[in-house]
Structure 1
Amino acid sequence: MALACIGYQKRAVPTRIRHRSISPSTPETPNSSVTKEEEEIDYSPSVEQQTDGTKLQRKLRLMVKEMRDIQGKYSNALKSWSKKWTSAFEQNTSSLVHYETTKQMFVSLSSIGNELAKNIDHSHRQLRHVSKLIPTEEQYPSRESQLQKARTAVNSVRSDLIEYEKELKELKRSLNRIKDQLRDPSSNKVEQSKWKSERKSVEDSIEQMKDNVEYATKMCERAEKQYHKDTVAIFEKSQEDELQRLNSLRDTLKAFLDALDVKHDSWQEAIEKHDPKQDLKVWKRTFFPSLIRLTNTH
């Protein structure tokens, strides 16, 4: 069975993946197995959620870096500006050479670029620390890989079951061919004896293969139950990771504002109103309403 996360359309409401549940045969169902439709949760939105979270981290990292680059260039420009104009007004050939107090006023004010640069240099250093607050992609293990790994055991036993069923069908075809030969009136006693011997051998093989199918069926059911437990655990851990990620992004933006040392009510209010738990609830209600109902029943 293919992993449920394959084929997810971004932003689409996840579909339910139906898969076969193999049950042992009964007198009413002469085939080796019967197919019962069950629903399997499509976890691909969770994989996409992690991808989006990683993109958000990278964007924030780039956002902080660009501000640092801007500050670095601005600081250098301010220093160059102060150097240029201080030098211009300090020269004895200046038109202010005879206006001492006026000259000192211009020289003094020309140093404002250096003072502004000091503040920017401090902010520039602070932003370097801000960048380190952003979690790395390696901090959160690949959700898709975890889901694929959880599915491996199911795929393995299901592959065995399919192979056993295929062999059982072939044995039954062989038995039918032998029975046809036994019903052939043109066959002699030697041939009849040979066909009877082969029939006994094939019938024994059929019984053995039925046992194999029954055992593999039980292993499939057990593997499916374990898979369900594992994927639910992976999903719940993924939401803990996303909550941690969103909190870290908020903390980074708060440190970003502090580093810039700018105050604005709307910016502070946006940070204070940030509610990652509520955001995750809305996301979960959109993509996994059944899991919410399941959780609420316990």
Structure 2
Amino acid sequence: MSHRFRPDLGWSDVTPKADFLNRRQFMASAAAGLIASPALAGLNAKPSVYSTMEKPNSRDDITQYNNFYEFGFDKGDPAKNAHLLTTDPWAVKIDGLVDRPGNYDLGDILTGAPLEERIYRLRCVEAWSLVVPWVGFELSHLLNRVGVQPGAKYVAFETLFRPDEMPGQRRRVLDWPYREGLRLDEAMHPLTILANGVYGEDLPNQCGAPLRLVVPWKYGFKSIKSIVRISLTAEQPPATWNMEQSREYGFYANVNPQVDHPRWSQATERRIGGGLFNARQDTLMFNGYADQVADLYAGMDLKKQF
């Protein structure tokens, strides 16, 4: 059974009355089958001061070119196969070193979340990039609500495991379910968000519906999709690609043009959707977010801890 958040104050105490009543109306409409999923709350997201000034890619670029091996291994497979996934109802298990562990309904996670539209650069490890207008909220908001205990140093994530709806999981190419992790200070950084929408609409299944991580200064495989579990741990958690090929994929996965992938250079990139004469451009340290996040890695050797 899913648990409800149990804050000291009721939602009516911390939410403007009009918004509280809109939430009640929203819930009634959802019960009547008029609204497909709670993620529609993202339509009311506010613009974010953290957005890049770069022009976003088209919606087709964002939804037709995806790495989501649970639905296939070609870039177009997720868009073809992800309609099989059922995303409502959806719950996220939150456990480990937290004060209020439980299975939380997605609607309760989104209720009261300070949703924003954030236009972020997304860097693929294969030297491609996108600019995406995500809708979401800071991960720190959720972690603060469940209460992070003093011993927690990392945040671990797991993707849904449902082979009957995710055909790629029927092949043993990875140790399913997909897993990722962040250091706690990375997870609590204001740039780190949980996204439930894109382009002001529900997040499409192939993009990680109904809830995915977005960490804009790291390579795209770090932004785990279709999250069903978040755990606070004292030890560094397993991360799928790091477990599979540690020589190629480090735990940190920070965008660093000075650290080549063993099979290609990371010094330059191309923007997806740029056409036949799409020129390469220099890769920026931390994907262009160095001013905000470089201090997280002070004193580290980023060529060894990559």
Alignment TM-score > 0.5, same fold: no
TM-score (norm 2): 0.22
Question: Structure 1 or 2: larger strand share?
Answer: 2
TM-score (norm 1): 0.23
Bigger Cα Rg: 1
